[in-house]
């Protein structure tokens, strides 16, 4: 028998978004995200500034999440928080806050692996593609990770392949930086790509064995391409921005789709889910939906607000762990490197 009427307050602070959410069982009542603008001017996340911004945001963000959900903190059943992986200084803010609040309210504390949360976000009530049956394949594509994961059960996952260097989100962001676009450049590349010609320029695809990825070569080839072309025409990037973005996006989407097809063939699994910030990308969303017909796949794409970092996905893991009695004690510490399939619970 599952416990009903569980209210979870979830906190996410692994990178540069401070987020708090309240869930009633699998339903999200509120999901507040404060994105830190401070990093834009530095062209990337500055860990010390991120940690300080989390400290400023966390109390108002939690208040807002409780208010929006119309819940008093005395009604909460448990507090869930991101333990890792992520930036240590950022994780510490959410971890300490969650521990103190759980202690003060005398309710259970639940630690959550951020990468598992990107995958388990599919179990939030109201996802438009429904809920995947086990086993399924999940490709987690974010600013910090690129993985293909075999999901056998909620907490039984196996990494089949991952990036050997840059994450796919970094590939988007670093390419954008080379084009003079502000951080984070991924969403901007996507925006311009939608109006450009994806066949205008050709970039090489890396040859990597098995189900692993590599994106650092692509970044270098874009750098040389931009240098070569701007030597001939100083306005090359401005004149061709949409076509360059479309061509970069097409290359990245091909790399991702090729590995997914390989993983599906290798495992015989045709239920395919994606998660993480890059799953907000229009190119990968479209390619996946096309693969439903071409490959005979059933695909699961999270709602937009559950793709990039958010506390609702931490909350659903909190709910699932609550059902299993998987609670953390007050001795729990943040874990910057927290492997998704490294330790059993
Ligand atoms: O999951 P996430 O919010 O944070 C991490 O855990 O890393 O992912 C952030 C990454 C950034 O690299 C950002 O540029 C990328 O996701 N991103 C996108 C899009 N939206 C976010 N990349 C390409 N197209 C998008 N629409
Ligand atoms: Zn993430």
Per-residue pLDDT tens listing for the chain (345 residues): 567 899 999 999 998 889 999 999 999 999 999 887 877 877 778 888 888 888 999 999 999 999 999 999 999 999 999 999 999 999 999 999 999 999 999 999 999 999 999 999 999 999 888 899 999 999 999 998 999 999 999 999 999 999 999 999 999 999 999 999 998 999 999 999 999 999 999 999 999 999 999 999 999 999 999 999 999 999 999 999 999 999 999 999 999 999 999 999 999 999 999 999 999 999 999 999 999 999 999 999 999 899 999 999 999 999 999 999 999 999 999 999 999 886 544
Q: Give the pairing of strands 136-141 and 156-162.
A: unpaired
CA 133 remoteness from chain centre: 21
Return the pLDDT at 50: 84
Return the pLDDT at 343: 57
Does the beta carbon of 186 lie inside 6 Å of ligand 1? yes
> Which residues, 6 or more positions from 236, have their beta carbon under 8 angstroms from its beta carbon?
226, 229, 230
- d(C-alpha 64, C-alpha 79), whole Å: 16
147 close to 156: Cβ distance less than 8 angstroms: no
**On the CB side of 233, how many CA atoms lie within 13 Å of its CA?**
8
For residue 184, give the ligand 1 atom closest to its CA.
14
Does the beta carbon of 15 lie inside 6 Å of ligand 1? yes
- Which ligand lies nearest to the CA atom of residue 184 in the structure? 1
Among 335, 15, 1, 7, CA closest to 183: 15
Does the beta carbon of 247 lie inside 6 Å of ligand 1? no
Does the beta carbon of 16 lie inside 6 Å of ligand 1? no
Give the Cβ contact number of residue 105 at 10 Å: 17
For residue 17, give the ligand 1 atom closest to its CA.
3
Strand boundaries in the chain, DSSP class E: 7-12, 17-24, 27-35, 78-84, 109-113, 136-141, 146-153, 156-162, 271-275, 298-300
Does the beta carbon of 308 lie inside 6 Å of ligand 1? yes
Return the pLDDT at 319: 98
Return the pLDDT at 345: 40
Does the beta carbon of 113 lie inside 6 Å of ligand 1? no
Q: How far is the CA of 231 from the centre of ligand 1 (A)?
A: 31
Return the pLDDT at 328: 98
Does the beta carbon of 196 lie inside 6 Å of ligand 1? no
For residue 280, give the ligand 1 atom closest to its CA.
26
Q: Give the pairing of strands 7-12 and 17-24.
A: antiparallel
Does the beta carbon of 173 lie inside 6 Å of ligand 1? yes
Among 117, 108, 113, 164, CA closest to 138: 117
Q: How far is the CA of 178 from the centre of ligand 2 (A)?
A: 23
Does the beta carbon of 276 lie inside 6 Å of ligand 1? yes
How much is the pTM?
0.94
Q: How far is the CA of 328 from the centre of ligand 2 (A)?
A: 22
- d(C-alpha 9, C-alpha 312), whole Å: 9
Tokens of 19: 């987020």
The protein residue whose alpha carbon is closest to atom 10 in ligand 1 is 143
For residue 173, give the ligand 1 atom closest to its CA.
14
For residue 309, give the ligand 1 atom closest to its CA.
3
- d(C-alpha 277, C-alpha 305), whole Å: 9
Does the beta carbon of 142 lie inside 6 Å of ligand 1? yes
- d(C-alpha 318, C-alpha 315), whole Å: 5
* Sign, CA torsion 94/311/326/161: negative
Does the beta carbon of 280 lie inside 6 Å of ligand 1? yes
The protein residue whose alpha carbon is closest to atom 3 in ligand 1 is 308
The protein residue whose alpha carbon is closest to atom 23 in ligand 1 is 186
In order, the DSSP letters of 296-344 are --EEE---GGGTSS-SHHHHHHHHHHHHHT--B-TT----SS--TTTS-
């Amino acid at each position: 028998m599952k416990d009903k009427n569980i209210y979870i307050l979830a906190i996410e602070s692994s990178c540069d978004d401070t987020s708090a959410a309240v869930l009633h069982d699998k339903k999200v009542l509120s999901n507040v995200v404060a994105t830190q603008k401070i990093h834009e001017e530095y062209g990337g996340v500055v860990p010390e500034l991120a940690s300080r911004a989390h400290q400023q945001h966390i109390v108002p963000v939690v208040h807002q999440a409780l208010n929006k959900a119309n819940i008093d903190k005395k009604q909460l059943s448990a507090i869930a928080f991101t333990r890792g992986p992520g930036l240590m200084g950022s994780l510490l803010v959410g971890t300490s806050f969650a521990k103190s609040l759980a202690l003060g309210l005398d309710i259970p504390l639940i630690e959550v692996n951020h990468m598992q949360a990107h995958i388990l976000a599919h179990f939030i009530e109201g996802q438009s593609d429904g809920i995947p049956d086990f086993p399924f394949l999940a490709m987690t594509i974010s600013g910090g990770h690129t993985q293909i994961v075999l999901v056998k059960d909620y907490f039984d996952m196996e990494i089949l392949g991952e990036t050997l260097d840059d994450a796919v989100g970094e590939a988007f962001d670093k390419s954008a930086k080379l084009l003079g676009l502000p951080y984070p450049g991924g969403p901007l590349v996507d925006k311009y790509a939608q109006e450009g010609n994806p066949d205008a320029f050709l970039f090489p695809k890396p040859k990597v064995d098995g189900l692993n990825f590599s994106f650092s070569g692509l970044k270098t080839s874009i750098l040389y391409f931009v240098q070569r072309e701007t030597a001939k025409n100083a306005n090359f990037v401005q004149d061709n921005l949409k076509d360059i973005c479309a061509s970069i996006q097409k290359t990245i989407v091909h790399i991702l789709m090729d590995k997914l097809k390989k993983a599906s063939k290798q495992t015989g699994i045709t239920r395919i889910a994606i998660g993480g910030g890059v799953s907000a990308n229009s190119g990968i969303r479209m390619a996946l939906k096309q693969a439903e017909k071409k490959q005979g796949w059933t695909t699961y794409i999270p709602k937009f607000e559950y793709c990039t970092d958010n506390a609702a996905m931490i909350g659903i893991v909190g709910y699932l762990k609550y059902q299993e009695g998987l609670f953390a004690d007050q001795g729990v510490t943040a874990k910057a490197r927290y492997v998704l399939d490294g330790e059993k619970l």
